[in-house]
Every structure is written in structure tokens, then in C-alpha cells.
Amino acid sequence: MPLATLLGTTAGTLVCLAVFKPYHTAIIPLAAALYVVADLGDRRRSLIVGAGTALLVVAVIVFIGDNVAVNTAVRLGVVLGVLVIGDTVRSRRELREARRERDLRIAQERDQESLRRIADERLRIARDLHDTVAHALVAINVRAGVAAHLSANDDLDGALKDIVTVSAEALNDLRSTLDLLREVGEPAPIALTLDFGSLTELLERAKASGLEADADVQLNEHQVPLAVEQAGFRIVQEALTNVMRHADASRALVSLRVDRGTLDIEVSDDGTGAAHASPHGGHGLRGMRERAAALGGEVTAGPAEQGGWQVHARLPLISSNRP
């Protein structure tokens, strides 16, 4: 309340002048109150208050009648000076705030423009991806249909080689495009199509590739929610895929257990993947962590105590999905 403070200070100063006659120092508390008025107000109010205060100061000096000219010049200089200083401080503060708001607005507009460009680019990439994959799948489908009807004397090998070539090119294009499309922190989908009922088929495919894969499932008749079961299957699938691709392993063990409301998943191998593993992992490990995080769980991966590599996931049976 700068105006109330100024009025109170003025009244107290007049009383002090009448009682104690501090002619040389009475202007100091008045100057402090005037500074606050200028600092917390606006220029128009400062001018009005300054004019009124100047008239009061002149009237008091004339009433006292001691060296009127000099005292008037000095006291009016003090009044004008503190008003100018207070107004300058206020103006610079408002200017800094205006610049900060302008910079913030410009930054927000720049971010929005960047997001718009990213969205446009992702849409363009998605269209390119659709065209590439659709073309490749159509070519594969056609050549596979031709191969199915070829006799032993026809060009069966040529048709199958075309299928291999086209599918390999499509996979490379898809992998490159996914590297561009994937965003850091982008939530992984949890509405999947496979669950632990397909675990046997998954292990058979691993065995067909030369990996001795076994499973130890101890769910203890607990009812595992579908979303948790599907995410767990994908984690096992990705972990076994990494074993077959990178671990140079001969054996892998999948362990599923339910303990204290949590599904524990462990995939371990006897390979040498730990020696070549990236400290941050690739898309596979990041995808496993995202799937677990989407359900309120976690995934850790690293060298196992007995050698080889180990992936460990903990998924709560009562999921804490975030919207």
C-alpha cells in the first residue's frame, strides 16, 4: 500500500518537524516513501504524487522560513530524484518482463512450428513406408503364388530367389524407416495378439534355429491379466530373438514365475553377447523396457553371474497403466 505508506510517513514527518525540528533529515523518510510509490505504481501516478509532495515541501519550507531558496532547491531535487530513480527501476523491470514474455512466446511458436514440421515429416515417411512395404508384399504374394503352381521343370528357384530378395529389401527399408519414426519416450503398444499359450511355438522356432531353448513356467494357478501376459510374451520373444542374433549361445532358459502379485520373467543364455553389448541397448531392449513401463513394471539386462546374458522383467499383475 504505497500511497497509504506515503500519507502516514508525511503525517509523521510533519509531527516530527513540529516537535523535534529535524529540518535537515526530515526529507529522508519522505524520500523513501516516494521511491516506493514510483517503484510500485505507474508514471502518471508518480507525476501526480510528486507534484503534490513538491507543493507540500515548498509550503513547509516557506512556513519555517529558514534559507528558503537553498532548502527549496535541495528538497525538490531530492523529491524529483527519488521519483526518477523509482520510475526508472520500474520501467526497466517491466521491460525485462516484456522481453522475457516475448522470448517465451517466440520459443513456444518455434516449438509449435518444429512439432508441425516433425508431424508433416512423419506423415510423409509413413506414406513412403506404406508404398514401399505394400509394393514389396504384393510382389512377394505374386511370386509366391507363381511358385506354388510351378512344376519341377519350371523356374521354381528363380521365384523363390525373387521372394528372398524382395523381402530382404523391404525389411531393410522398414528398419531404416522405423529408426526415423521412433521417438524417445514414445509409449510402446500393449494391446498385442500373442500370449503365453504361444510360448511352446516360440520355443520350437528357437530350437529350429539350433538353439536349445527350454522354459520353466510356475504361474501357481494365478490369473495373469491379458495385457500383462501379452507384454510378457513380447518381452520373451524379443529376448530370445536377441539371443539367436547376437549372443552366439547354444542354450537359453525362459523362466516365468508369479510372486507377491508380480510376474517375474527371466531369459538367460550361455553365450558371449555380454562382451559386445551396448551399455544402452538397441531398439529391442528399449522396446522391452517401454512395454514394461507401460504396465508399471521394469526390465533390466546384463551379464549373468554364471556367465552369459540375462534379461529380467517384473510386471505387476495389477497394472498401473498411465493414460
Q: What digits encode the pLDDT tens for the residues 205-260?
A: 888 777 888 999 988 778 888 888 888 988 998 888 888 877 678 899 999 999 88
User: Would you list the domain boundaries of the chain?
Assistant: 2-96, 123-181, 196-316
Q: What digits encode the pLDDT tens for the residues 22-39?
A: 888 888 999 999 999 999
What's the rounded Cα separation, in Å, for the pair 243 and 312?
Answer: 14
Query: Is CATH 3.30.565.10 what the domain over 196-316 is classified as, yes or no?
Result: yes
What's the rounded Cα separation, in Å, for the pair 267 and 313?
Answer: 9
What's the rounded Cα separation, in Å, for the pair 287 and 305?
Answer: 24
Q: Which residues of 182-207 are buried (b: 16+ CB within 10 A; e: fewer)?
A: eeeeeebebebeebbeebeebbeebe
Sheet holding 212-218, edge to edge: 212-218, 251-259, 262-269, 309-316, 298-303
**pLDDT tens over the chain, length 323 residues:** 888 999 999 999 889 988 888 888 888 999 999 999 999 988 899 899 989 999 999 998 888 888 888 888 998 999 999 999 999 999 999 999 999 999 999 999 988 988 888 887 777 666 666 656 655 666 666 666 666 666 555 566 666 677 767 766 766 676 666 666 655 555 544 444 567 888 888 888 888 777 888 999 988 778 888 888 888 988 998 888 888 877 678 899 999 999 888 999 999 998 876 545 554 555 678 878 888 888 889 999 988 888 888 999 999 987 544 43
Interaxial angle between packed helices 43-64 and 68-149, expressed in degrees from 0 to 180 and rounded to the nearest 10:
170
The amino acid at residue 321 is N
- 311, β-bridge pairs: 267, 301
What's the rounded Cα separation, in Å, for the pair 21 and 287?
Answer: 83
